[in-house]
Structure 1
Amino acid sequence: MSETGEPRQQQLARNVNELLAELRVAQAGVQILFGFLLAVAFTGTFREASGFEKSIYLVTVLFTSAATALLTAPAAWHRLLFREGRRSEILRVGNRLVVAGLACLAVAVTLTVALIGKVIFGVAAMAALAVAVGGIFTVLWFVVPRLLRTRPPE
């Protein structure tokens, strides 16, 4: 029995379902960003971008690709392994992949906003936006949960 009074297998099934539900939210954001990024490369304006801008763009696409792979892996694993009683491993490793995927998504969104700032307003705007957006993601997604973890539950 778990802390909640559920049988272990029931708790694992519920936890896997919760993980997969959370992934649906993150995957939607990744898919929208990825679609936007893919469309940008085929515009006439992109061909005129500087080498620096194209490099930032490619790094952004790579982080978005990594986020896609990391955030979809637990769903794929569940589909491939759910009948083999591997929920514990799916949860343990899947949780780490999701955290890594969220970090990649945060970097990809930050770089996207920074690149837009660079194209529209220049390098100073790019730097300011990267710090601001990266800071928002870092605080909300990683610092606040860590702080909450150190406080006793109410």
Structure 2
Amino acid sequence: MASPWFEGTPTTDRRVTGGGSPGIRRVEDPADRIVRWDGRRGADDDAHGRGPESHDSWNQRVRGETPTQRLDRCYAELLQEVRLAQAGVQLLLACQLSLAFTPRFAVLTDDQRHLYVVGLVLSCAAAAMLIAPAPFHRMLFQQRLKRQVVVAAGRFVLCGLLLMLLAMGAALMLILSVVVDGRLAVGVSAATMSWCAMWWYAVPLVRRIRRTRRIASVTAVTDRRRG
């Protein structure tokens, strides 16, 4: 199956024709035989080459979805992401809650106890944010605010993932402080958190920025063509 044309991945079933402005390729997608203008690899132009189209318009044309159906699908996809994240934060929180009742907890230093409390609070906060989409949706049920629910739930999940990352760092630092030297524990914990942050936030953000710039450049070329 060919990669979507808007993902910027070259495919073998797309036909590139000449013409147009320098650096602009005319790409025909055989899936729906709609001609679009794109930049270096692809952009979300409408069917008439007039620049990026809205999400609702694109989903209506490609997926045959109405705006309401698109919101339902987005919320269902978000819940799948929440279930994946909740499994991690629940496991972390369960381990932290049980730690206080182990014999080894009594020999922890004051700094380690403080670190434990910080990690425990962060885990609880993360769990609360990842659970928040469910009560938020239930409180606004049948109020015709699905778009607001989807937007708010997405923000809840992003905040919950950030809190979970901090909780993981605190838990890892606590365990390493018992096993190795304090400076090494801080260094390893910081490196691990940076590794997670890179894949959770940095890489997707870079991809998003690149796509936004690519669409902006295509829009600018389209405007010059009109002028």
One fold, TM greater than 0.5? yes
1:117 counterpart residue number: 176
Partner SS, residue 101 of structure 2: coil
Q: What residue in structure 1 maps to residue 37 of structure 2?
A: none
How far has the Cα of 1:110 moved from its partner? 1.2
| Residue number in structure 1 paired with 2:106 | 47
Counting only pairs closer than 5 Å after superposition, residues 4-43 of structure 1 correspond to structure 2 as 4-5=59-60, 6-43=65-102
Structure 1 residue 80: Cα displacement:
3.2
Give the whole-Å Cα distance in 2 for the aligned partners of 1:69 and 1:115: 22
CA–CA separation in structure 1 for the residues paired with 2:188 and 2:135: 35
**Unaligned residue ranges in structure 1 (runs of 5+):** none
Which is worse superposed, 86-95 or 9-18? 86-95
Match of 1:3 among 46, 54, 58: 58
TM-score, scaled to structure 1: 0.93
Structure 1 distance, partners of 2:153, 2:184, is: 36
- Given candidates 105, 109, 112, the residue that maps to 2:164 is 105
Q: Which amino acid aligns with 2:148?
A: E
The 3-state SS of whatever aligns with 2:148 is helix
- What secondary structure is seen at the aligned counterpart in 2 of 1:84? coil
Distance 2:80 2:207 in 1: 22
- More strand per residue: 2
How many residue pairs match? The answer is: 153
Distance 1:118 1:107 in 2: 16
Task: Name the residue aligned to 1:81.
Answer: 140
Equivalent position SS for 2:153: helix
Q: What is the DSSP-based 3-state SS (H/G/I as helix, E as strand, rest coil) of the residue aligned with 1:107?
A: helix
Amino acid at match of 2:59: T
Residue in structure 1 matching 2:131, options 49, 72, 93: 72
- Contact in 2 for aligned 1:114/1:125 (Cα 8 Å): no
Gaps of 5+ in 2: 1-55, 215-227
Query: Is contact 1:110-1:133 (8 Å) kept?
Result: yes
Deviations 1:85-129 (A, max 9, x none): 221111111111111110000011111111111011120221112
Q: Which has the larger radius of gyration?
A: 2
Q: Tell me the alpha carbon deviations over residues 40-75 of structure 1, each in whole angstroms, 9 at most, x when there is no partner.
A: 011111011000000000000011011001011012
AA partner of residue 121 (structure 2) = L
Aligned to 1:96: 155
Q: Distance in 2 between matches of 1:114 and 1:136?
A: 15
CA distance in 2, matches of 1:22, 1:122: 37
Aligned 8 A contact 1:56 1:115 in 2: yes
